[in-house]
């Protein structure tokens, strides 16, 4: 199978610090992948290697190209959104559209204008006159108008209010994503993206802690909510994690026998946030 991203033994060191530690990662086309990890886990270092912005050890192929050697060619098929502040504040919207059109051969002015027509962004606005949410809309309009194969989003909605965040991901799904494109997202707001993800990757201390499709996650993990008098019976079944909420005990199980759990309480699928906390803490509440 051809992978959009194929990393084998990927390692990134900063002097004596190992930011990315010998990871293997394969991402096929047409997936929306959440790369989730705490601060300092190695997410940004991995993204920089994928985008050709940092040197690395090991083997890495992105869309069949070596990012360290073929970055110019690679960027014809890759777009990247980080903090919205990367857009120059002095430029007007019409100038930014013309600049993008001159730089990127796969940019469609028509698509960009069609998306912006549903926003309050005007052609004469300067970037510095726009709210952070409007800048995010402008940035997304530019990106959605470029016909690329890989979109990398690094905390794309950081600092935006909940309405803009939800609209951002709705537009991304409705107007951009298809089975030919791949989206890689890093964010700390995991509860807002879990419904759009097809795959989940947890990274901790530079290593992959979980790499699974969302379908497999839902099949593999289950939460059990029990009353206090059933808590000890649940503990004896060796849960991955235990927490207490309003006097009820919630246990997270990995590959458990659900028929054995069912008589003890209520079963449900864990949220990505709860699964993340459990795995990052090594099972400690």
Q: What is the mean pLDDT of residues 42-64?
A: 94
Q: What is the mean pLDDT of residues 11-20?
A: 92
Q: For 110-128, give one letter per residue: b (16+ CB within 10 A) or e.
A: ebbeebbeebebeeebebe
Residue 212 maps to a domain:
no
CATH for 119: 3.40.50.300
pLDDT the model gives residue 84: 53
| Residue 104 DSSP label | -
Residues 232-284 have pLDDT tens digits of 999 999 999 999 888 889 999 999 999 999 999 999 999 999 999 888 876 44
Q: By percentage, how much of the chain surpasses pLDDT 70?
A: 97
24 and 148: one domain?
A: yes
155 and 115: one domain?
A: yes
Residues 143-188 have pLDDT tens digits of 889 999 999 999 888 777 888 888 888 888 887 888 889 999 998 8
CATH for 235: 3.30.70
Rg over CA atoms, the chain: 21
pTM score of the predicted model: 0.89
187 and 269: one domain?
A: no
Q: How far apart are CA 279 and CA 282, in angstroms?
A: 5
């Amino acid at each position: 199978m051809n992978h959009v991203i194929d990393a084998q033994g990927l390692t990134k060191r900063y002097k004596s610090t190992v930011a990315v530690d010998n990871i293997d990662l394969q991402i096929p086309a047409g997936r929306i992948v959440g790369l989730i990890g705490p601060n300092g886990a190695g997410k940004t270092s991995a993204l920089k290697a994928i985008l050709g912005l940092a040197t690395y050890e090991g083997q890495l192929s992105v869309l069949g190209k070596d990012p360290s050697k073929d970055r110019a060619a690679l960027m014809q098929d890759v777009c990247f959104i980080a903090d919205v502040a990367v857009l120059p504040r002095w430029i007007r919207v019409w100038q930014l559209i013309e600049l993008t059109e001159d730089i990127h051969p796969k940019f469609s002015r028509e698509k960009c204008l069609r998306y912006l027509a549903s926003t309050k962004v005007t052609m004469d606005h300067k970037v510095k006159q726009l709210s952070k949410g409007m800048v995010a809309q402008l940035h997304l309009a530019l990106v959605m108008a470029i016909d690329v194969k890989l979109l990398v989003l690094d905390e794309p909605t950081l600092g935006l209010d909940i309405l803009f965040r939800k609209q951002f991901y709705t537009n991304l799904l409705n107007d951009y994503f298809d089975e030919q494109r791949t989206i890689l997202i890093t964010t700390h707001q995991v509860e807002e993206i879990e419904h759009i993800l097809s795959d989940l990757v947890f990274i901790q201390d530079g290593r992959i802690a979980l790499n699974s499709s969302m379908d497999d996650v839902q099949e593999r993990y289950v939460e059990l909510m029990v009353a206090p008098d059933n808590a000890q019976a649940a503990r004896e079944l060796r849960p991955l994690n235990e927490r207490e909420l309003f006097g009820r005990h919630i246990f997270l199980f990995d590959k458990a026998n659900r028929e054995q759990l069912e008589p003890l309480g209520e079963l449900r699928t864990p949220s990505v946030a709860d699964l993340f906390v459990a795995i990052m803490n090594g099972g400690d509440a």
